[in-house]
């Protein structure tokens, strides 16, 4: 690290949390690195083409090695001396279980807290002190929190102490879900492997685009590919926000907005369905939205290209009819399993052991 870079880090360390949080992301990304490598995984914008390519290759290799017992036994030696804290105080099924499984694959020991009602936060301890406490016991914190910015705050705080540990953002309020975007991208990459990869594909994102953090994170990552077009299909009230639209305009990524699912399907290479995020309602406003127009049913399948794919971060409600599951274009169950492999690759990368896996 150059002297100028060191001075920048020291200057960032001297900021209050409010000042740090207000600092534009591009000016603070190095704060989440150690020795020039990503150390905390908080934002989709941290993922460069080089990191993504390393993670995809590592995930492919882990998946192959883990098929045989001897291979899995070897993988489980790699981080058997490390411990991870799974701090998930917002509901989760697959992010939690896939990270837990990814830890098991690499031999990490895991501890978990799944609700503030069973931690000392119930006795009035702040989330900040709770997170600091984890750093006394664990070598990595993987967290999902209901408060926007809490994962960033954890990294801001822990990068100032003597024994910093990596923070992985498993979802922070309405803000971002970068590891979901990573597994979405991995699924797109695997699905389009025989069709020139993700470049030049049209991705149709459907549903609650205003409050869906997976859509936000994936939109940021699509910037890394050439010729990608995005179509956002949503009810008027749930349109994608201006921050994402400004980002796409700045990077000259063509996008369209529509409220018509049927018209948008024939051009899609990938349809990315999402559920309504009514847990973020302020006054029960979701009840006034006719979300049924944004449901993919069996009758829609004939409108889709033969080689298109259907994705969903899950969980779903009615936005994909169960009868669609048996269509070969439905990739969402594979997508959630891909999450385990790519998250194992991410953990390996953050501990700096990906070369051991890639070079075996």
Binding site for ligand CP (CB under 6 A): 92-96, 171, 180, 313-315
Retrieve residue 124's tokens. 């009035």
Retrieve residue 182's tokens. 């990573």
Cβ distance to ligand CP smaller for residue 300 or 316: 316
Q: Is 93 a catalytic residue?
A: no
Cβ distance to ligand CP smaller for residue 157 or 273: 273
How far apart are the C-alpha atoms of 112 and 88, rounded to whole Å?
8
Q: Which of 28, 144, 211, 331 is catalytic?
A: 144
Q: Which of 28, 177, 211, 331 is catalytic?
A: 177
Q: Is 144 a catalytic residue?
A: yes
Q: Is 145 a catalytic residue?
A: no
Q: Is 249 a catalytic residue?
A: no
- Residue-wise over 155-187: b if at least 16 C-beta within 10 A, else e? bbbbbeeeeebbbbbbbbbbbbbbbbbbbbbbb
Quote the least distance from Cβ 90 to ligand CP, whole Å: 8
- Residue-wise over 23-58: b if at least 16 C-beta within 10 A, else e? eeeeebeebbbeeeebbbbbbbbbbeeebbebbbeb
Quote the least distance from Cβ 276 to ligand CP, whole Å: 14
Cβ distance to ligand CP smaller for residue 246 or 279: 279
Q: Which of 28, 61, 82, 94 is catalytic?
A: 94
Quote the least distance from Cβ 279 to ligand CP, whole Å: 11
Quote the least distance from Cβ 292 to ligand CP, whole Å: 22
Quote the least distance from Cβ 8 to ligand CP, whole Å: 33
Residue of 185, 187, 237 whose CA lies nearest to 209: 237
How far apart are the C-alpha atoms of 10 and 40, rounded to whole Å?
17
Report CA-CA distances (Å) from 60 to 24, 160, 173, 359: 34, 35, 30, 13
Enumerate the β-bridge partners of residue 37. 34
Cβ distance to ligand CP smaller for residue 156 or 220: 220
Q: Order of strands, edge to edge, in the sheet holding 255-258?
A: 255-258, 229-233, 202-206, 270-273, 309-311
Q: Which of 28, 82, 95, 187 is catalytic?
A: 95
Q: Is 334 a catalytic residue?
A: no
Q: Which of 69, 123, 163, 306 is catalytic?
A: 123
Cβ distance to ligand CP smaller for residue 20 or 332: 332
Nearest residue relative to ligand CP (C-beta): 95
Residues annotated catalytic, as ranges = 94-95, 123, 144, 177
């Amino acid at each position: 690290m150059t002297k100028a870079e060191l001075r920048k880090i020291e200057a960032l360390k001297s900021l209050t949390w409010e000042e740090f949080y207000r600092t534009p992301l591009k000016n603070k990304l190095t704060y989440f690195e150690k020795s020039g490598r990503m150390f905390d995984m908080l934002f989709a914008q941290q993922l460069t083409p080089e990191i993504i390519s390393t993670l995809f290759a590592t995930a492919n290799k882990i998946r192959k090695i883990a098929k045989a017992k001897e291979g899995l036994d070897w993988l489980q030696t790699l981080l058997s001396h490390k411990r991870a804290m799974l701090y998930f105080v917002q509901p989760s099924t697959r992010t939690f279980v896939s990270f837990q499984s990814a830890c098991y694959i690499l031999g990490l020991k895991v501890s978990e807290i799944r609700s503030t009602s069973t931690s000392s936060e119930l006795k009035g301890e702040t989330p900040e002190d709770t997170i600091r406490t984890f750093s006394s016991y664990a070598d990595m914190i993987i967290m999902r929190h209901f408060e926007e910015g809490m994962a960033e705050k954890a990294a801001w705080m822990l990068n100032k102490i003597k024994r910093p540990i990596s923070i992985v953002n498993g979802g922070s309020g309405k803000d971002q879900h970068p590891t979901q975007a990573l597994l979405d991208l991995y699924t797109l990459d695997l699905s389009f492997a025989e069709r020139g990869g993700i470049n030049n594909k049209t991705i149709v994102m459907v549903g609650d685009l205003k409050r869906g953090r997976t859509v936000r994170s994936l939109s940021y990552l699509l910037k890394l590919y050439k010729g990608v077009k995005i179509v956002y299909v949503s009810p008027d009230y749930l349109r994608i926000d201006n921050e994402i639209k400004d980002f796409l305009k700045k990077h000259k990524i063509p996008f369209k907005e529509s409220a018509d699912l049927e018209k948008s399907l024939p051009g899609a290479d990938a349809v990315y369905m999402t559920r309504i995020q009514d847990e973020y309602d302020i006054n029960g406003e979701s009840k006034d939205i006719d979300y049924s127009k944004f449901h993919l049913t069996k009758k829609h399948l004939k409108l889709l290209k033969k080689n298109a794919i259907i994705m969903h971060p899950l969980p779903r409600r009615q936005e994909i009819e169960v009868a669609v599951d048996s269509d070969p274009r439905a990739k969402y169950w594979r997508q959630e399993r891909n999450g385990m492999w790519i998250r194992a690759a991410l953990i390996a990368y953050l501990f700096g052991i990906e070369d051991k896996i890639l070079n075996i």
